[in-house]
Amino acid sequence: MTIPLRINGEPFDLDVAPDTPLLWVLRDTVGLTGTKFGCGVAACGACTVHVDGNPIRSCLLPISAVTGQDVTTIEGVSDHAGAAIQRAWIAEQVPQCGYCQSGMIMAATALLRRRPDPSDDEINQAMTNICRCGTYQRIRRAIHRAADELQDQTAEVTHG
Amino acid sequence: MVSRRKFLITAAAAGGALLVGYAATRSRELLGDPSLLATQEGETALNAWLKIDAEGTVSVAVHRAEMGQGIYTGLAMLVAEELDVAWENIRYEIPLPDKFYANIIGFADAAPFDNEDHGFLAESARWGFKQFGALLGGNFTGGSSGIRDAWEPLRAGGAAARDMLLRAGAERLGVPVSECTTDSGEVVHRASHRKVSYGALAGEAARLSPPQDIPYKLESEYKVIGQPMPRLDIPAKVNGSATFGIDVRPEGLVFAAVVASPKIGGQLKSFDAGFAQDMPGVIKIIATDDSVIAIAKTYWEAKKAVGQVITEFEDPEPFDNDSIAAIYAQGMEEDGFAFENVGDARDNLAQSSAVIRADYTAPMLAHACMEPQNCTALITDARCDVWAGNQAPLIFRDLAAGATGLDKEKVFIHTQLMGGAFGGRGEPAVLYQAIAAAQAVKGTPVQLIWSREEDIQKDAFRPIAHSRFEVTLDEAGQIENWYNKIAAPSPTQSVMSRWLPNIPFGGPDRTCVDGAIFLDYKMANRCVEQTAVEMPFPIGFWRSVGHSFHAFFTESFMDELAHSQKQDPLQFRRQHLADGSRSAAVLDLLAEKSQWGDILPPGHATGVALHESFHSIVGQVAEVEVVDSQIKVHRVVCVIDCGRAINPDSVIAQMESGIVYGLTAALYGRIDMKDGRVMQDNFPNYRMAQMRDTPKIETYVINSGAPIGGVGEPGTPPIAPAVSNAVYVLTGKRNRSLPLEV
């Protein structure tokens, strides 16, 4: 029995054990290694992906739970909010070792879609991923920068 | 007490014949053999540091490992500056390890002398350690030494290549070299404005000999060094394409998961693979001396299978927090080695009735890199390939050769990006396991990944340290006698026993006392003495090593002394620093930028700490509040004098990083042992600072012109005492152990 789902817009029928966490399906079966393994207990957020647009920690999520759903990974997040976040990450020179940043970018993109102009408190609440390099201050700056950029774009569309 | 003389003899023996050798020393080889760089069609290597392709794209050999510190970019900047090439045309490439790439300066730091001491003995010892490093070919990444070691050779590589290209260009244009110059990747004939690109000249330049004297640029001509250059590795780190060790995918890759003794050091007695052998995807279940490894088509299949194996491990000698504490208590009572002994501190203290005493301790810590330890290996009859993020590739090569029985020349270490390292990614345990797995499925590459639990519990921990101060002040409130007794194990000895198992390593190790010795504070008499205690388990280097606890001890105790004199803590420190010293300048700028002494919001207090490590001086002021019995750090102002900032934005990033890393340790960090087991196992019980815990951090960089200092580690030591000193102001309770409590 195979499990149908879409990953970054592409349809897949995956022949894997239904209890396999989405993380390992992405990394070992599909070959998308941008999503990272950090803790295996959904505590660090390195494995964050979007399932039907919502940020989910994929290391504990069985593949059977996402049957028929839309999964977006770091490799496929580059539309609109995602691209703005990625640009802001470069502009603020956020990553150091970079290992947690896929998860951070997925969490931040989901935050901006929900709250286009988040406050510092909202960022604190939404961004609970762990970064051992301590890039949090730059992540905060980058989220504000991306939010500003997206709002400017919206303003241009409205007034243009 | 072991004398310094005896130690020096040990150091000299390590380095060779000290006096004769020192007189005959020649400077290190700077350019290296171009053949060390593998070239593709159209690429030409001009020395061991760089190659140029036909389009003029320059690949810089980045011989130090990237763990987040920005070293790839820093190294490339040194070459780009001297080679005179546009930043857009700079790439990086990781060379295979070679002795030429030895970290000479990193070894010199082991000499037990004050950085300011340039006397014969000090310089001789440094020379000895450098020779030892060159002999060993240790091209490790650590000790905040990457840029310090690279400063001369990488600039030399760029400058020598530019000179060769210039001569080749002049010949091509048929004009004298003296009439030519270079401009962003081109040789230009000044009078006629005719140009030839580096890409077109590389082949001809490679046939010329390198210059005898390296024609370095003048500092005033620098366009790259000192500028905040965008990091070369960042674009790939925002789109998922960056390849860490855990991401390598050689053709036909299979995966492995491991189960080892729950008690540290337990050997495997027996195991029963049972039905795990027949589980889906499982290829093989194997045993090593101290673990069982399942190999399967995917990691999840391997992990599920290894969890089903029934194992029995031997019961090693049990130890726990109390038995470890007893080892330290005994160590504190024994005579130690005096790393520093100036004047008559101990005699004077014995006769004084006004001694201020305090005992400090710090706990064990795990590195907890975001990327769990992992290693990928492929073994055939002919060769062994290893893909791993690692801080010591030649050590890994030699250990892999030993484990496989292959010649060293047939072992290839492919160093990958590291998802953090912090001193913890030179440990070979995971390498041995990956090799055992790869040998079991010869011809098939295997990636072995530790679980987070394995990663935390089988770490080589930052060891516990104990520190006792006995001090008297004179009538003017200046420190007169300073005695610091330390019990700590040697991380160097522990790491070396795994890196160089056949070479006995002994003698005093300054990494256990770094941060307690050669303090900048004026003291008439001082004695710092350490007893080396033995730990019954591996310990390791943890970001800033000895500084990580000694800064907490000394800077907390300096605060205690200030308060005992009813003095302002910052002013008390300043009074103990020589006017015009680098430390005084850091403290003065820190006072200004933090608005030290200004009125704070109600319930807030500030604490200060100043600490020199890895040739850089860092001062920090932390603004703290206690809310619901929790320490909340609102703001940290940080000043660093690293001599010269190569990439100022990377310096700032490393200060931010070091502060958050140190803050996690100060507020939450401790590893506990019970019945031979580590009690913490994953982030829920080994807590990490998150976004909400992170203060606003402001960093100011001083380019004092002093010799270049490191930046990867020096941000970490001062934060714990700065926060603790603020907590004392708020609560009146002095924390003499970590993590901090209120």
pLDDT digits (tens, 9 = 90+) for B681-690: 999 999 999 9
Q: What angle do CA B145, B148, B150 make, to 5 degrees?
A: 100
Q: Are B218 and B82 in contact (CB under 8 A)?
A: no
Grouping H, G, I as helix, E, B as strand and the rest as coil, residue B62 is coil
Q: How many angstroms away from the CA of A147 is the closest CA of chain B?
A: 17
pLDDT of residue A154: 79
How far apart (Å, rounded) are the C-alpha atoms in residues B233 and B90?
Answer: 12
The mean pLDDT value for A56-64 works out to 98
- Among the partner residues B299, B656, B688, nearest to A130 by beta-carbon distance: B688
Give helix A136-159 / helix A81-91 axis angle, nearest 10°: 130
User: Which amino acid makes up residue B218?
Assistant: L
Chain length of chain A:
160
Strands (E), B192-307: 195-197, 254-260, 268-272, 282-288, 291-296
Contact (CB<8Å) B370/A99: yes
- Chain B: residue whose CA lies nearest to A100: B370
Question: d(Cα B583, Cα B450) in Å, to the nearest integer?
Answer: 43
The residue with tokens 């440094």 is: B126
pLDDT of A131 > 70? The answer is yes
Neighbours of B342 (CB within 10 A): 13
pTM: 0.96
Percent of chain B, pLDDT > 70?
A: 96
Burial of B10 (0-12, 13-18, 19+ CB in 10 A): middle
3-class secondary structure, B473:
strand
pLDDT on residue A145? 98
Contact B300 A21 (CB under 8 A): yes
Please state, in angstroms and rounded to a whole number, the distance separating the CA atoms of residues B662 and B720: 6
Compute how many other C-beta atoms are within 10 angstroms of the C-beta atom of residue B419.
30
Residue of B nearest to A99 (CA): B419
pLDDT at B201 over 60: yes
pLDDT of residue B8: 39
The residue in chain A having the minimum alpha-carbon distance to the alpha carbon of residue B70 is: A96
Instruction: Read off the pLDDT of each residue in B624-633 and give the average, rounded to a whole number.
Output: 97
Given a cut of 70, whether residue A159 has pLDDT beyond it is: no
Q: Helix, strand or coil for residue B604?
A: strand
> B449: which strand partners?
B374
In the three-class reduction of DSSP (H, G, I as helix; E, B as strand; rest coil), residue B6 is classed as helix
pLDDT mean across residues, chain B:
94
Return the H-helix or E-strand segment holding B523: none
- What's the pLDDT at B253? 98
Instruction: Kindly state the average pLDDT of the residues B220-246.
Output: 97
Q: Which of B16-30, B303-317, B494-508, B535-549 shows the lowest mean pLDDT across its residues?
A: B16-30
Strands in B205-281 per DSSP E: 254-260, 268-272
Burial of B333 per CB tally in 10 Å (0-12, 13-18, 19+): exposed
CA distance B143 to B148: 10
Return the pLDDT at B116. Answer: 81
Diameter over CA atoms, chain B: 85
| Closest chain B C-alpha to A109 CA, distance in angstroms | 12
How does residue B3 score in pLDDT terms, banded at 50, 70 and 90?
very low
- The pLDDT of residue B127: 82
Quickly list DSSP for B563-597: HHTT--HHHHHHHTS-TT-HHHHHHHHHHHHTTTT
Per-residue pLDDT, B86: 96
Per-residue pLDDT at B27:
58
Lowest-pLDDT range of B110-114, B169-173, B453-457, B633-637: B110-114
Residue of B133 and A8 predicted with greater confidence: A8
Query: Cα B723 from chain centroid?
Result: 23
* pLDDT number for residue A160: 52
Tokens of A158: 């409205």
pLDDT band (50, 70, 90) for residue A158: low
3-class secondary-structure state, position B48: coil
| C-alpha span between B348 and A2 (Å, rounded) | 81
- Helix (H, G, I), strand (E, B), or coil: what is residue B493? helix
Contacts of B297 in chain A (CB under 8 A): 28
Is residue B609 within 8 Å of B706, Cβ to Cβ?
A: no
Q: Tokens 């997925």 identify what position?
A: A106
Q: Do B369 and A21 touch (CB under 8 A)?
A: no
pLDDT value at B678 more than 90: yes
**Given an 8 Å threshold on Cβ–Cβ distance, is B420 in contact with A95?**
no
Q: How far is CA B379 from CA B129, B197, B281, B385, in A?
A: 35, 43, 21, 6
Look at the alpha carbons of A39, A42, A46, A48 in this order and tell me if their dihedral is positive or negative: positive
Chain B CA closest to residue A39: B452
CA distance A27 to chain B (A): 8
Would you say residue B738 has pLDDT above 70? Answer: yes
Token pair 């606890």 is found at B549
Please tell me the distance in Å from A59's CA to the nearest CA on chain B: 10
Cβ of A132 and B449 within 8 Å?
no
Give chain B positions within 8 Å (CB) of A130: 370, 683, 688, 690
pLDDT for the residue numbered B26? 47
User: pLDDT exceeding 90 applies to what percent of chain B?
Assistant: 88
Q: Provide the sign of the torsion angle of the four alpha carbons B295, B301, B305, B307, taken in this order.
A: positive
Query: Smallest Cα–Cα separation from B715: which of B632, B621, B640?
Result: B640
Banded pLDDT at B502 (limits 50, 70, 90): confident
Q: Minimal Cα distance from B695: which residue of A?
A: A137
How close A75 comes to chain B (CA, Å)?
A: 6
- CA distance from start to end of chain A: 52
At residue B109, the pLDDT reads 82
User: Does residue B519 contact residue B471 with C-beta atoms inside 8 Å?
Assistant: no
Contact B473, B479 (CB under 8 A): yes
Residues of chain B neighbouring A128 (CB-CB closer than 8 A):
690-692
Beta-bridge mates of residue A51: A54, A71
- Are residues B362 and B555 in contact, defined by beta-carbon separation less than 8 angstroms? no
Report in angstroms the alpha-carbon separations of B28 from B153, B156, B209. Answer: 9, 12, 18
Minimum distance, in Å, between the CA of residue B167 and any CA atom of chain A: 38
Burial of B610 (0-12, 13-18, 19+ CB in 10 A): buried
Token pair in block for residue B508: 């005093």
Per-residue model confidence (pLDDT) at position B212: 93
Contact B420 A124 (CB under 8 A): no
Q: Which of B678, B96, B146 is nearest to B385 (CA)?
A: B96
Q: Are B683 and A44 within 8 A, CB to CB?
A: yes
CB B304 within 8 A of CB B279: yes
CA nearest A40: which of A27, A54, A51, A50? Answer: A27
Q: Which band of pLDDT confidence, cut at 50, 70 and 90, is reported for residue A156?
A: confident
Q: What residues of A are in contact with residue B451 (Cβ under 8 Å)?
A: 40
Query: Cis link prior to B363 (omega < 30° from 0)?
Result: no
CA distance B147 to B154: 9
Question: Residue B543's closest chain A neighbor by CA?
Answer: A133
Binned at pLDDT 50, 70 and 90, residue A102 comes out as: very high
Residues B500-533 as b or e (16 or more Cβ within 10 Å = b): eeeeebebbbbbbbbbbbbbbbebbbbbbbbbbb
Which of B742, B599, B717 has the alpha carbon at shortest distance from B667?
B742
> CA-to-CA distance for B173 and B715, rounded, in angstroms?
51
Q: Do B370 and A38 touch (CB under 8 A)?
A: yes
Task: Report the length, in residues, of chain B.
Answer: 742
* Cα distance between residue B96 and residue B416, in whole Å: 11
Half-sphere exposure of B542 (CA within 13 A, CB side): 29
B577 pLDDT above the threshold of 50: yes
Residues of B in contact with A100 (CB under 8 A): 370, 419
- Computed from CA positions of residues B338, B340, B344, B349, in that sequence, does the dihedral angle turn out positive or negative? negative
Provide, as residue numbers in chain B, all residues whose Cβ is less than 8 Å from the Cβ of A103. Answer: none
**What is the chain B residue with the closest CA to A133?**
B657
Half-sphere CA count of B5, side-chain side, radius 13 A: 0
Q: In angstroms, what CA-CA distances link B197 with B39, B200, B223?
A: 19, 5, 20
What is chain B's Cα-based Rg? Answer: 27
Please give the mean pLDDT across all residues of chain A. 96
| Cα–Cα distance for residue pair B359/B377, rounded to 1 Å | 47
Cα end-to-end distance, chain B, whole Å: 39
**Cβ count within 10 A of residue B18:** 20
Give the pLDDT score at B607. 98
Which residues, including other chains, have CB under 8 Å from residue B517's CB and lie 6 or more apart?
B112, B114, B339, B340, B510, B528
Say if residue B708 is exposed, middle or buried (CB neighbours under 10 Å; 0-12, 13-18, 19+): buried
The answer on pLDDT for B37 being more than 60 is yes
